[in-house]
Amino acid sequence: MDDAAFAEVLRAAQHGDEAAFTVLFRQTQPSVLKLVTVLAGADLAEDIAADTWVNVVRDLDRFVGDEIGAFRAWVLAIARRRWVDEIRRRGRRPELLYANTPEVATPDSVSGEVETAIGTDEAIRLIQSLPPEQAEVLMLRVIADLDVSQTAEVVAKSTGAVRVLAHRGLRRLEAILRTDVTKSPPRTVDE
């Protein structure tokens, strides 16, 4: 979505247009989910993302900006704050365990998502292996496609610190991937 279209969609969403809000949600939710999955783990990602969107809906009329990148940074900053709130909440209260109700998957619902899920899951697994600050910065820079200044604003660090964390994270990922490649058995012609 270009910035002119974004500005129009944002105005409509701020005036209560559900279809416009859905467009904003679809443009931003994948980044939110990936970020909170890396920060909080898959078990909490959906809950934190949902809390994020409750705040976005409540405060949407306060957002000022006319570009999708600024909006994405704003939403991701909210997601990060919800994650911090969750950490604080868990520190104050003991965790209760609930039995998970398994969802019934159909072959049709799974088959279309398998390739994407495997790639996304593997990327998230690799990023989660990094130190938390590096993982967070890489998710914001690479996956959420924020620029250095937007990322610095979200994580409350200088742009220089963001560049260093991203560089170190990428170097560490490169080392991990090189190690994985050398450990994997050679492929045969049949594969």
User: Predicted confidence band at 101 (pLDDT cuts at 50, 70, 90)?
Assistant: very low
- Residue at token pair 């593997």: 122
H/E run at residue 103: none
Place of tokens 């969609």: 9
Q: Which two tokens stand for residue 173?
A: 């990922």
Structural domains in the chain plus CATH codes:
3-96+106-183 (1.10.1740.10)
Give the model's pLDDT for residue 94.
55
Mean pLDDT of 111-121: 52
Q: Rounded to 5, what percent of the chain is helix, strand, coil?
A: 75, 0, 25
**Phi and psi angles of residue 122, each rounded to the nearest 5 degrees, phi first:** -65, -45
Going by the DSSP 8-state scheme, the letter that residue 60 receives in this structure is G
For residue 73, pLDDT over 80 is answered with yes
Percent over 90 (pLDDT), the chain: 38
- Model pTM score: 0.64
